């Protein structure tokens, strides 16, 4: 078997065949996956029935892991998965779907907004690696938008205007957008805003991309309403259908995306049905801009 990649979206998204992710990754295979990621930004692997251990081993073969998000509003005894996973499911520790008004569910609905994973951390994420164990009868797609094409499609004046802009990102800002305001002091302390450049350069390809995320809640030096209106316009531009690959999940799928050059969002599904998806995350190379103390 040798790896082949077929384009599945509009310049974003590739489907990979000819690899069994349960087996240790060869250096050649790892190189092919990284090259595929640089080109397609999202890679889909079908029929990969991995265990959690195999999922972790595969992830580590691609780079160092990020520890799970400090704030997912799950208490330690409520964790279903090891802390090296982000539990993106709608399930409690007994594998039952959260009640519709469960605070943990409402917080996780922030994933329905276009975002880039861990943009609220000083060193944001590189790849996210998400695997599906059960999926609902309808809905629940994940959509991916190409921030390279979105950047390229901006007019020259806008490109010049945003070149050196820096945004503040926090999970407080993404949740505020869906009317989730209540956080304890301890949660707020964990969600203090961090700074991110609005334009990034990909270290492997040299391509520029728009670094947008629902977590962005302001632009340094700009009045707040003007910043939010401007970011909203950029979001609308960047998420046009011509830049989007929509992934329809099957059990056994594993999808990798590059958070440095894409945004993604989850789509709605029936609240009473199980959707078990689990994510490992590779840590990025460094901050996009200097932080302030």
| Residues of the shown chain interacting with Mn ion in the complex, contacts defined by CB under 5 A | 117
Name the nearest CA neighbour of 192 among 265, 292, 104. Answer: 292
CA distance 246 to 249: 10
Query: What is the nearest approach in angstroms of ligand OGA to the Cβ of residue 36?
Result: 20
Report which DSSP code applies to 177: H
Among 191, 219, 264, 284, binds ligand OGA (CB under 6 A): 264
Q: Does 117 bind ligand OGA (CB under 6 A)?
A: yes
What are the C-alpha distances in Å from 114 to residues 9, 142, 214, 227, 247?
Answer: 18, 10, 6, 17, 14
Query: What is the nearest approach in angstroms of ligand OGA to the Cβ of residue 4?
Result: 26
Name the nearest CA neighbour of 129 among 293, 287, 216, 16. Answer: 16
CA distance 78 to 103: 13
Site for ligand OGA in 82-101 (CB under 6 A): 88
Among 5, 21, 68, 130, binds ligand OGA (CB under 6 A): 130
Q: Which does 266 bind (CB under 5 to 8 A by kind): ligand OGA, Mn ion, none?
A: ligand OGA
Query: What is the nearest approach in angstroms of Mn ion to the Cβ of residue 88?
Result: 7
**x/- track of binding to ligand OGA for residues 131-170 (CB under 6 A):** -----------x----------------------------
Rg (CA), the chain: 18
Neighbouring C-alpha atoms within 13 Å toward the C-beta of 268: 4
Q: Which does 276 bind (CB under 5 to 8 A by kind): ligand OGA, Mn ion, none?
A: none
Q: Which does 154 bind (CB under 5 to 8 A by kind): ligand OGA, Mn ion, none?
A: none
Residue 72, judged by CB atoms within 10 A of its CB (0-12, 13-18, 19+), counts as middle
Q: How many residues bind ligand OGA (CB under 6 A)?
A: 10
Q: Does 262 bind ligand OGA (CB under 6 A)?
A: no
Query: What is the nearest approach in angstroms of ligand OGA to the Cβ of residue 57?
Result: 19
Contacts of 287 (CB under 8 A, 6+ apart): 122, 123, 124, 195
Tokens standing for residue 44: 């889909």
Instruction: Give residues in contact with ligand OGA (CB under 6 A).
Output: 88, 111, 117, 128, 130, 142, 264, 266, 277, 279
């Amino acid at each position: 078997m040798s790896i082949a990649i077929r384009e599945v979206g509009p310049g974003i998204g590739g489907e990979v065949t000819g690899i069994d992710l349960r087996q240790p990754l060869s250096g050649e295979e790892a190189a092919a996956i990284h090259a595929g990621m640089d080109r397609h930004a999202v890679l889909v692997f079908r029929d990969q029935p991995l265990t959690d251990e195999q999922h972790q081993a595969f992830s580590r073969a691609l780079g160092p892991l990020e520890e799970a998000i400090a704030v997912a509003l799950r208490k330690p005894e409520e964790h279903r998965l090891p802390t090296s996973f982000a539990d993106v499911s709608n399930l409690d520790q007994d594998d039952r779907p959260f009640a519709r008004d469960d605070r943990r569910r409402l917080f996780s609905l922030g994933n329905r907004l276009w975002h880039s994973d861990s943009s609220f951390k000083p060193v944001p994420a590189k790849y996210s690696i998400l695997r599906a164990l059960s999926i609902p009868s309808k809905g629940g797609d994940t959509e991916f938008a190409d921030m390279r094409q979105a950047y390229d499609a901006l007019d020259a004046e806008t490109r010049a205007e945003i070149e050196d802009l820096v945004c503040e990102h926090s999970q407080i800002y993404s949740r505020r957008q869906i009317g989730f305001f209540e956080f304890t002091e301890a949660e707020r302390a964990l969600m203090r805003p961090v700074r991110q450049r609005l334009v990034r350069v990909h270290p492997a390809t040299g391509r520029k991309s728009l670094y947008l995320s629902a977590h962005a809640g302001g632009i340094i030096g700009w009045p707040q309403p003007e910043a939010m209106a401007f970011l909203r316009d950029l979001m609308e531009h960047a998420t046009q259908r011509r830049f989007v690959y929509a992934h329809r999940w099957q059990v056994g799928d594993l999808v990798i995306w590059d958070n440095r050059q894409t945004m993604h969002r989850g789509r709605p599904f029936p609240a009473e049905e199980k959707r078990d998806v689990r994510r490992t995350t590779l840590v990025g190379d460094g901050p996009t801009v200097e932080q302030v103390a």
